[in-house]
Structure 1
Amino acid sequence: MDDELLNIGAFARQAGLTPSALRFYDDCDVLIPAHVDAVTGYRYYSPDQLSRAVLLRRLRAAGVPLPEVGAVLDGTAEQARAALTAHAQRARDVAAAAQAEIGEILRSLPGGERRTLVRLGGAELSSAVRQVSPSVAGAAARAEFPVLGCILVELDEEVRLVATDRYRLAVRTLRPAFTDGAATRLVVDAAALADIASWALPLAEVGIEVDDRGARLHGGGRSRALPTCDETFPDYKLILDDLPAPENRVITDRSALCAALLQAPGPVVLRTDDGHLLITDRDGCTVERPAVHTGPPLRIAFDPAVLVPALEAGVGPDVLLEFSAPDRPVVVRSADQGSFTTLVMPVR
């Protein structure tokens, strides 16, 4: 192997991407490693790929959809301009709004307080809350474990929203436009956060501020309090770190899979067969959906009531399903948005 190749961690640091994002872009054939070790599966990248990786990061940060990224990375200059023109004015508007809001907040700050502030798009925050909310626990589970009725909000170099009901785990990662202060974790009531996210939706940019007086969301000249609680949120990182490497990957039409599951009395069994995903309900009726499958033959069962909301929370026409074992969670990823991941437990 070429001694100049970079492992995925080193390449990620130089490119400003996370290793998980690089793995996702490899799965989607957008940024393929220069070498993959046949024994360990470790990915290695050439320094020549850095410029492509940095451009890819900038495109995704600007909100360019993955299907259009190829036009910029591999298309002509005219195709690239056509794909980017619609985003340029939006970026200028957001930057101007950020400067105005930050200046106003800095002028109003009292001295000596410990404070964390992040700023991000209102529509981006609203979308993230919508995506993780289906994984918030129902009334029965909340009565026993109140924290499962909350969403964890982590403020750092990235903003992460996390929700779980013990059968699903949803994580959405956002890249803020501005960060200041120490890393902070907030456990926020899910219903209240959904209401605040609806208020934030039309705002070009909002700020999440945490200090000695509590947590607030600023935007549009107004402020909303974020109702937090002192409950300890489950350590979701332990679950993610414990996941084995997937043995199977399936890419299929998200809406078509949802429709098939909604019509099937549960539980349902998913099987792969020669370019198709077979969905068999408890009555033995089978529906076929076209799919791209890599890995050995697959057979796994799910409760549609648990799997469908995870699929509906995705973005784009396709969904990527990653399976490691019949008794381990399936990873549900939006093919157009690697920053959103849901884990769903199968059934017997």
Structure 2
Amino acid sequence: MDETDEPMNDALMSIGAFARRVGLAPSALRFYDDCDVLRPAYVDDATGYRYYAADQEPRAVLVRRLRAAGIPLTDAPAVLDGTREEARAVLEGHARRARETAASARSAIEEILRDLPGGARRASVRLGGAELASAVRQVAPAVASAPVREEFPVLGCVLIELGHQETRLVATDRYRLAVRALRHRSPEAAEDVAGAPGRVLVDAEALKEAASWALRMPDIRIEADQQGVRLHGDTAVRDLPAVDGTFPDYRMILDNLPAARHRIIADRTALREAITAGGHAGPLILDTGEQQLTVTVTVATPGSVTATPPAICTGPPVRIAFDPYVLLPALDAGVGPDVLLEIASPSQPVIVRSADQGSFTTLVMPVPGASADA
């Protein structure tokens, strides 16, 4: 029995029961708790299980509707707790930006359209082609650069791990670790995997090419054995040979992560703009002093550029430094308008995640260049 199905009395609901009632995933409810957007009515001190009251349903439904509209969580408090005028200003502003973004996207797509030219038992699972392509796009930035791959060829690969319920794609360059889990399309896929080899290393560049091909397929069957991976589409097949080598034990890394002491939730676009403003020639520093996020970027000319993007900071103040070329791909790989950084300390791996996709996890190593907790 876990948090999602733990029974409770008539006054309170388990996180699973409340999630079904309001149309949100339990992982999203945990995220909203972490961000102080939707706190549970009660948390069991012994188990850590969260429980919710019936009168929280309207707020949860409004949160779900805000997320469906793509409203950043940094703007959500104005709608959830602000005046009618504040809520209207936020919603109308978001609607205007959404129209502008949609118009730009439509124009770009139309331009692109104009330019288009007229043996051993194998593990086998089914996935959506677009889902697979999306997963490859997310983990591929964590693959090592060419110079590092020359010394450590295994870091130029993606680990494809076929399990009984899900398939995982994993990549790392020692400074980043990206993990994406994909649920299988059909129940019988789990039986197909039993007893068959389920861990294969494949070349990242070859996988990206195959993912571009799979994007056009509604359904992909993946087979794997010691020789490699085979992707079956409707009428064609793509083979990805296995690469010899020992991939880092990513599960041990994830299992041994310390608890987060600091959390930063920010508008993904605003944070990215703050980091890239004026270019960057050295480490960037995130500082949560005074419960405000300050981003300081070292630029090519002597000096630095400072910005204060909208953010919600919880926990004690912290100052932490990153290599922009490591943090930016982690931000770009995420899904949704918000990004959450979970920080244990300025010297330990930082988890980068979002409420919109609990199946994708990125770890980013900080760099020296900032003092310890402020």
Aligned CA distance change for structure 1 residues 272 and 31 (closer, same or farther; 3 Å): closer
**Paired letter, 2:48:** Y
Residue 230 of structure 2 corresponds to 216
SS at match of 1:281: strand
- Correspondence 1:1-348 to 2 at 5 A: 7-8=2-3, 11=6, 23-24=30-31, 26-27=33-34, 35-37=42-44, 42-45=48-51, 67-68=67-68, 113-156=120-163, 157-178=165-186, 179=189, 180-182=192-194, 184-211=198-225, 214-262=228-276, 263-274=279-290, 276-282=292-298, 283-348=303-368
Aligned CA distance change for structure 1 residues 154 and 287 (closer, same or farther; 3 Å): same
Counterparts of 1:213 and 1:280, CA distance in 2: 48
Q: Deviations along 1:290-346, whole A, 9 cap, x unmatched?
A: 101111112101110111111111111111111010100111112321111110000
SS at match of 2:150: helix
Counterparts of 2:67 and 2:240, CA distance in 1: 36
SS at match of 2:244: coil
Counterparts of 2:234 and 2:40, CA distance in 1: 43
Give yes or no for contact 1:21–1:339 (8 Å, CA) kept in 2: no
Give yes or no for contact 2:352–2:362 (8 Å, CA) kept in 1: yes
State the Cα RMSD in Å.
3.5
Q: CA deviation at 1:210?
A: 2.3
Q: CA deviation at 1:152?
A: 0.6
Aligned CA distance change for structure 1 residues 155 and 66 (closer, same or farther; 3 Å): farther
Counterparts of 2:366 and 2:227, CA distance in 1: 43
| % identical equivalent positions | 58
Counterparts of 2:250 and 2:257, CA distance in 1: 11
SS at match of 1:202: coil
SS at match of 1:257: helix
Aligned CA distance change for structure 1 residues 186 and 20 (closer, same or farther; 3 Å): farther
Aligned CA distance change for structure 1 residues 226 and 22 (closer, same or farther; 3 Å): farther
Q: CA deviation at 1:115?
A: 2.6
Give yes or no for contact 1:249–1:295 (8 Å, CA) kept in 2: yes
**Paired letter, 1:320:** L
Query: Which ranges in structure 2 are unaligned for 5 or more consecutive residues?
Result: 7-14, 55-60, 71-118, 369-374
Q: Deviations along 1:106-132, whole A, 9 cap, x unmatched?
A: xxxx8xx52311111101100000000
Q: Deviations along 1:166-205, whole A, 9 cap, x unmatched?
A: 0000011111112122261111110000000000001111
TM-score normalised per structure 1: 0.73
Q: CA deviation at 1:46?
A: 7.6
SS at match of 1:8: coil
Aligned length: 291
Query: Which ranges in structure 1 are unaligned for 5 or more consecutive residues?
Result: 1-5, 49-55, 57-63, 71-109
Q: CA deviation at 1:266?
A: 2.0
Aligned CA distance change for structure 1 residues 189 and 274 (closer, same or farther; 3 Å): same
